[in-house]
Structure 1
Amino acid sequence: MKFGGTLAVLLSAWFMAQFDFFVVNVAAPSIERDLNAGPAALEVIVGGYAFTYAAGMITGGRLGDRYGYRRLFIWGVVAFTIASVLCGIAVNPVQLVAARLLQGLTGAAMVPQVLATISAGYPPHERARALGWYGATGGLGSIAGQVLGGLLLDADVLGLGWRIIFLINLPVGLVVVPLAAWLLPRVETPRRSRLDLPGAAGLAAALALVLVPLGLGNSLGWPAWTWVCMAVSVPLFALTWRWQRVLGRRGGQPILDLALLKVHSYQAGVGSIVAFMAYFASFMFTLTLLLQGGLGLTALQAGLAFAPMGVLFSVTSLLGTRLVRRYGLVVPMVGGTVVALGLGLLAVSMGLGLPWIMVSLMLVGSGNGLVLPQLIGAALVEVEPHQAGIGSGILSTSQQFAGAGGVAVIGAVFFAAAEGGHHLQAMRWSAAIDLGLILVVIGSVAYNRRRATRQVRTELSRTVATP
């Protein structure tokens, strides 16, 4: 599979999904005024996409393994485009909530096929480069949601107001679908005789019982139902896990590939990404609260403040793949150290004004680009081509789950410390927690590096000993 147009088609869908994840935060005030949406409706409009997106990822990955990544990608883009249009033409909060939930589900069908196609379609020497572009696109999509979203709303394109942030996906989808049908390869995958519907339903329900309370708990003051839901999720997940093992012993095809979960590099990669995404999502969330609530910036100004960090993230993502080929896993370790320096500088320079904060953000963005794409590549390196869909689905679900958990837990710490207008002190606390998570990432990568070195030495000693 070649670079150029094929990779651009794949990454355009990933960009759309990331863009729509973040852009609604900027548009929330406009939606509130135009549709008379209350606080609860706004929470679901903003967070509902994340709930269904995360809950459907593993099923979307398994469907790709069964029916083919190309087919699922094309139909996923079609459905995502239709859901975006439904968001853009909604006339009341109920319609917009329903369309956002549908948009998340369609994104869950579309996005796992991007990583799966890269993993199964590119040879190892090109896969790292493609994953570097994947990481850069994810960073650009996240930042564009803040910056481009603010610019679109400020320009009031065609007088559409907030609706333009959804309707802009229509021309993108109309271009991507025929190009995908033309350019994407038909990656061979083993056909599954049946889909594990009980496992899919149980896993989605268990994830929803955790993600919904985590997403809404802060704003609602953590009512009793949030804790009940999270408690119920534990036995439900245990029952689903037991069903997966029983179905596997019977020779069926469980929604979770338990053999994949035994791959050490995959386990370590998922763990590292969970720690990183818990830091990254919470950092973006609390930094937005600091810039707008503590420093009094507008939504557009706050979005522009993120731009240098996003640009540097994208640049170092692309450079990182070349550096890893030459220096190995020491590169993400250096990147994590740069992130740690940026967080430390942010904590100590909080009272020195916006210029020092911007310097801290540039360090953080530079380090992030050296870390995240390499973690994704390391997690998928030993995944077999026929497992690429489910492997990508689990990876994407872990990212979303960790992000929601990080926002909920660290966000709660921020809100508690910010009472009375102490936003600077609150950001110091959240930056300290984020620093701890980054140290976990560095330690995990260092462990994997030592393990990889031992494996190479073992293989060399066997080769020398062989007559």
Structure 2
Amino acid sequence: MFCNDVSKPDPRRWAMFVVLLVGAFLPPLDFFIVNIALPSIREELGASASAEQLVISSYAALYAVTLITGGRLGDLYGRGRMFLLGLVGFAAASVLCGFAGSPWVLVVGRALQGVTAAVMAPQALASVQAIFPDSEKPLALSLYGAVFGLAAVIGQALGGILISLDLMGLGWRAIFLVNLPVVALVVLFGIPLLKEMRVRHATRLDLGGMGLSIACLGALIVPLIVGREAGWPWWSWLSLLTVPMLGRLFWLYETRLDRSGGVPLIVPAALTAPGLGRALIIALLFYSIAVFFLLFSVYLQQALHVSALSAGLVFLPFGAGLLVGPLLTPWGRRMLGAYINPLGMALESIGLLGLVWLIVATPVGVQLAPVILGAILFVIGLGQGLTMPTLMRMVTGRVASAYSGMIAGIVSSTLQVSTALSVAVVGGVFYTILGPRTDPAAITQAFIAATLCIVFCLVTGAGLGITLAWRSVANASVLGGLSPPRQ
């Protein structure tokens, strides 16, 4: 049985978690790895600009809008079962993408990847609350944060490497087919570990709530992802205007279902936990850095004329920081308690400001000093590595373990909404300032402005984190102050 009471933790819990971490790694990896491959896909398949955009947006949109449903499926029908089902579906969708003979087959495959990833991905984060005792949760969340962040860095580098190697003449197709041996190994070792991970009392999925949540998130996510590329047509603004109405309708439906004794997709009472709303806002602001990977790649390749492979490898110091940050988190929590989270976002802000300084101090079009650039990217990665696991604990730790799949879906969906918002808003700032120009000076100016927008979001999030930490410290003092502030 899958146990929500971790007073007697399963001795196989760490082996289970290692398998489940693949579910956290593959979805962001496949999101970022495609960015590098788009020129090759366009050349071989003759994809139009709209089809090329759909290769990215179909995956991102469907992944974002179905994450809450995917998390709740794990709560109701078993996290191990849903993980394996999503994993096998993701592999099948990867095969469709890898052997696509036309742009539209590739788009369909990417859409299926998005849906199956949303079933698979929340189970790793949900399992932290469900299978680990409190003493082990910080380490588990640190590992989750490191894997989640490293997927973005590895995706950039691995995409360039696979295309450059042209394994077996596959070219860009290798970025999808590389998922297959990984999935085969996980299924081979995962089935004996995960087949008994299920909840005690499965109930029926709230189909009405699922439909309304997908409609609400879709009305928000789809225009944000495709609106700018499409020139912000009338339907995109109409879609955004319907979001408050759909959100209100969803909430009323869930509240009524809960009062009538049903099992809603999102249990309203679970969202009233003190500080949860502010923690989700911090998550929204924190992941504004997601657009940095895209814009910095544009700056490197178009302003500094760096190759795609080299642009991907530039991010490796960032990845090193992401590895070190989570390892330091348990020590940081003992020393600083709840303040470790805003400290991480402050480090990210300092690193980004350092990058702006380096760019301003370097003549336009000249390569940035590699040692200084590497140190700056390491600091940014270190800040993100400190922030991610503490943020996950800040959110998931406020909800009972029975709802861990639900809250995992909510926090994952929040990060995806943040990604879409940052691409739409910060990316919009970048392209508005850039205008029709494509010279290095214009790209540099636009990138600096966009980076400062990200800094503003991170500083705001750090400020909110300080107020939340202060409140936690105050509450701990009232209760005696013997335990560390709650993250």
Length-normalised TM-score, structure 2: 0.91
Amino acid at match of 1:140: L
Alignment-derived partner of residue 199 in structure 2: 189
Question: Cα RMSD over matched residues?
Answer: 1.8
Q: In 2, are the aligned partners of 1:11 and 1:137 still within 8 Å (CA)?
A: yes
Match of residue 331, structure 1, among 336, 340, 356: 340
Cα displacement (A) at 1:210: 1.6
1:415 aligned to 423, 431, 441, which one?
431
Shift of 1:446: 1.0
Partner of 2:471: 451
| Selected match of 1:5 from 15, 21, 40 | 15
Q: Is 1:248 matched with 2:258?
A: yes
> 1: CA distance between counterparts of 2:74 and 2:418?
23
1:395 partner amino acid: V
CA positional deviation for 1:70: 1.1
Is the 1:333–1:446 contact (alpha carbons within 8 Å) kept by the matching residues of 2? Answer: yes
> Closer, same or farther in 2 for the Cα pair 1:447/1:186, shift >3 Å?
farther
Number of the residue aligned with 1:344? 353
Aligned position for 1:305: 314
Which of 247, 259, 268 is 2:269 aligned to?
259
Q: Which residue of 2 aligns with 1:392?
A: 408
For 2:164, give the aligned amino acid. Answer: D
Q: Provide, for residues 258-281 of structure 1, a one-character-per-residue CA deviation record: whole Å limited to 9, x for no partner.
A: 112111243232111110012x11
Q: Which residue of 2 aligns with 1:381?
A: 397
The equivalent position to 2:386 in structure 1, one of 370, 392, 395, is: 370
Preserved CA contact (<8 Å) 1:135 1:317: yes
TM-score (norm 1): 0.95
CA distance in structure 2 between the aligned counterparts of 1:462 and 1:371, rounded to whole angstroms: 24
- Measured in 1, the distance between the counterparts of 2:164 and 2:13 equals 36
Residue in 1 aligned with 2:128?
Answer: 118
Q: Kindly report which structure 2 residues correspond to 1:83-122, keeping only aligned pairs within 5 A, or say none.
A: 83-122=93-132
> What are structure 1's unaligned runs of at least 5 residues?
none
Q: 1:42 corresponds to which residue?
A: 52
* AA at the equivalent of 2:77: Y
Contact 1:269 1:376 in 2 (8 A): no
Deviation readout 1:57-110 (Å, 9 max, x if unpaired):
001111111101111111111111111111111111111111110100000000
Distance 2:383 2:280 in 1: 19
C-alpha displacement at 1:461, in angstroms? 8.6
1:288 is aligned, of 297, 306, 314, to 297
| Counterpart in the other structure of 1:64 | 74
Match of 1:354 among 350, 354, 368: 368
- AA at the equivalent of 2:277: Q
| Worse-superposed segment, 329-338 or 51-60 | 329-338
Q: Kindly report structure 1 stretches of 4+ aligned residues shifted beyond 6 Å.
A: none
Structure 2 CA distance for aligned equivalents of residues 88 and 44 of structure 1: 16
Considering fraction of residues, name the structure with more helix: 1
- Point out the more displaced range, 122-131 or 445-454: 445-454
| CA contact 2:24–2:148 (8 Å) conserved in 1 | yes
Match of 1:321 in 2: 330
The amino acid across from 1:100 in the alignment is R
Give the distance between the partners of 2:204 and 2:416, measured in 1 at CA: 27
Distance (whole Å) between structure 2 residues aligned to residue 41 and residue 462 of structure 1 = 58
Q: How many angstroms apart in 1 are the aligned matches of 2:248 and 2:14?
A: 44
Distance 2:287 2:333 in 1: 21
Q: Secondary structure at the match of 2:315?
A: helix
Contact 1:340 1:439 in 2 (8 A): yes
Instruction: Decide whether the 8 Å contact of 1:283 with 1:431 is kept in 2.
Output: yes
Cα distance 1:256–1:214, how it changes in 2: closer, same or farther (>3 A)?
A: same
- Amino acid corresponding to residue 318 of structure 1 in structure 2: L
* Alpha-carbon separation, structure 2, partners of 1:401 and 1:238: 18
Query: Quick one: which of 198, 210, 213 aligns to 2:223?
Result: 213
Q: Which moved more, 1:24-33 or 1:209-218?
A: 209-218
CA distance in 2, matches of 1:4, 1:379: 22
1:82 corresponding residue in structure 2 = 92
Matched positions, count: 462
Residues 192 and 253 in structure 1, CA contact (< 8 A), matched pair in contact too: no
Q: CA deviation at 1:333?
A: 2.6
| 1:231 equivalent in structure 2 | 241
Give me the identity figure in percent: 35
CA contact (8 A) 1:329 1:449 kept: yes
1:161 is matched with which residue: 156, 164, 171? 171
Show CA shifts across 1:166-198 (max 9, x none): 111111111111312212374553534322111
